[in-house]
Chains A and B, each alone.
Chain A
């Protein structure tokens, strides 16, 4: 998720662009601009990192300098299939877990919000399972699922599932009663109310769930890969540590950061498409 300040500014930029009827440029402006202070801070960060490494500050004796990381990246990773395969594998896991969580979580949240009896029956169980951190499911998941791949996808799914259920459920509960009354007084059927009132009203909540969910999903995938997998960006990073090459660790971390950031951008884009009315406000 980009910095709040930045997104507010981006929103303003989009708005003012809109007023000059130049929608093509509005898209480009959506990418947050970093001003000179921010740029300075980032440059300072890399210089500090370099200095710490150069002067062998405590803890930094085995850490590569930023330049060394770039060199190693181009020498050992950028043109190897295994590196890009790690990207692909991790992305695939995130995607499956995330999409499954949406597919099952959204309907469950809707049912819990609209069907009182189902709510009484199931909600306490969800509340019981929710506080268990997703990674605590790793052993049971490995036991249960026949393949490693499935168990990692399952844990990823767990990570995003409860978040989306709770968000959709809250979204349904906070729909204004006036909307229902209006629809009923106009003679709308149950299914029309569901389609025309409930679904559109929970879209913002689904969006919130998606934003939170994608971040958690990456977190879970990385950890699960470190604990129990032989592929993916998390594994790459962990193997760097095990084999005693810190430069691989740093390359892995940066790759994971970029991957996470890319998926956030994708999710943001989908959310914007889901809520065209939000762009005006």
Chain B
């Protein structure tokens, strides 16, 4: 992988998309998840099938409570499915009989941020390398610095503690902390949820640049449709509980993506199609929520 990266940087075309990685093909087959606290079965995910090619950027969109987070937890290895299977590169990742476990091949970037506040930026970024790859500290730091500097000059703040950085920077460091391990899948769990529109736009550019230089399979969970369409190759709209795939939308917009594209006709059409489908779901969820409260 190191090779790919270096070549890419040398080729002077930083916006060009890196070639597809060898690993990272994800296949979710009829996955279901039923929570069973004290006999009252809650179906969080039902018969959900998604195919993701290695190196694809896929966004999963849906209203609150549609099982996005459950799916994320299964992929990350925090939780198990109760039916169906999940394969990563043709090896079984999760099934009702096989509880998944987390690993550095599937790194998560969390909704509320989970940089260790008691470690410096550099210590955070090297953490995974030191824990899994049995790399020496010197080479791990070398690699971390390399990644940090390529992601918008973050190496300038590598001695700082996360609390000293802006929230946008913290988020970028967290993405670098994941990418530096060269995971097969990068799982982003609504990473820009708490941000204002302008910061979000900036973060999108940063993320797209990181994606194009260090291309990985990315599963991006969000409830923001525009963000999903703008960033990804494929948008998957999920229904409300029980969560299942309602619509799969391929985004034909070329890369590199630029903010102007959000004004293009193609983009608008995609958005319209997706909005209709999500809106229907949101309405259902809302009505059910009202019933539950009554």
Any chain A CB within 8 A of the CB of B254?
no
Expressed in whole angstroms, the Cα–Cα distance for A16 and B37 within the complex equals 9
Expressed in whole angstroms, the Cα–Cα distance for A271 and B247 within the complex equals 50
Any chain A CB within 8 A of the CB of B13?
no
Q: Smallest distance from the beta carbon of A120 to chain B beta carbons, Å? A: 32
Expressed in whole angstroms, the Cα–Cα distance for A19 and B40 within the complex equals 10
Closest to A13 in B: B38
Expressed in whole angstroms, the Cα–Cα distance for A20 and B40 within the complex equals 10
Q: Smallest distance from the beta carbon of B40 to chain A beta carbons, Å? A: 8
Expressed in whole angstroms, the Cα–Cα distance for A43 and B129 within the complex equals 47
Q: Smallest distance from the beta carbon of A145 to chain B beta carbons, Å? A: 51
Q: Smallest distance from the beta carbon of A201 to chain B beta carbons, Å? A: 25
Which residues B15-44 have CB closer than 8 A to chain A? Answer: 37-38, 40
Expressed in whole angstroms, the Cα–Cα distance for A20 and B39 within the complex equals 11
Interface of A is mostly: helix
Render A1-26 as a binary contact track against B, CB cut-off 8 A, 1 for contact: 00000000000000010011000000
Expressed in whole angstroms, the Cα–Cα distance for A19 and B37 within the complex equals 11
Expressed in whole angstroms, the Cα–Cα distance for A16 and B38 within the complex equals 8
A-chain residues with CB within 8 Å of residue B40 when the two chains form the complex: 19-20
Expressed in whole angstroms, the Cα–Cα distance for A20 and B38 within the complex equals 10
B-chain residues with CB within 8 Å of residue A19 when the two chains form the complex: 40
Render A30-41 as a binary contact track against B, CB cut-off 8 A, 1 for contact: 000000000000
Closest to A19 in B: B40
A-chain residues with CB within 8 Å of residue B38 when the two chains form the complex: 16
Closest to B39 in A: A20
B-chain residues with CB within 8 Å of residue A20 when the two chains form the complex: 40
Q: Smallest distance from the beta carbon of B93 to chain A beta carbons, Å? A: 30
Expressed in whole angstroms, the Cα–Cα distance for A16 and B42 within the complex equals 13
Expressed in whole angstroms, the Cα–Cα distance for A27 and B37 within the complex equals 20
Closest to A17 in B: B38
Q: Smallest distance from the beta carbon of B117 to chain A beta carbons, Å? A: 22
Render A119-137 as a binary contact track against B, CB cut-off 8 A, 1 for contact: 0000000000000000000
Closest to A12 in B: B37
Which residues A215-235 have CB closer than 8 A to chain B? Answer: none
Closest to B292 in A: A19
Expressed in whole angstroms, the Cα–Cα distance for A19 and B38 within the complex equals 11
Expressed in whole angstroms, the Cα–Cα distance for A135 and B38 within the complex equals 50
B interface residues, Cβ below 8 angstroms from A: 37-38, 40
A interface residues, Cβ below 8 angstroms from B: 16, 19-20
Chosen A-B contacts, 4 in total, with CB atoms closer than 8 Å, are A16-B37, A16-B38, A19-B40, A20-B40
Which A-B residue pairs are the 4 nearest by beta carbons?
Answer: A16-B38, A16-B37, A19-B40, A20-B40
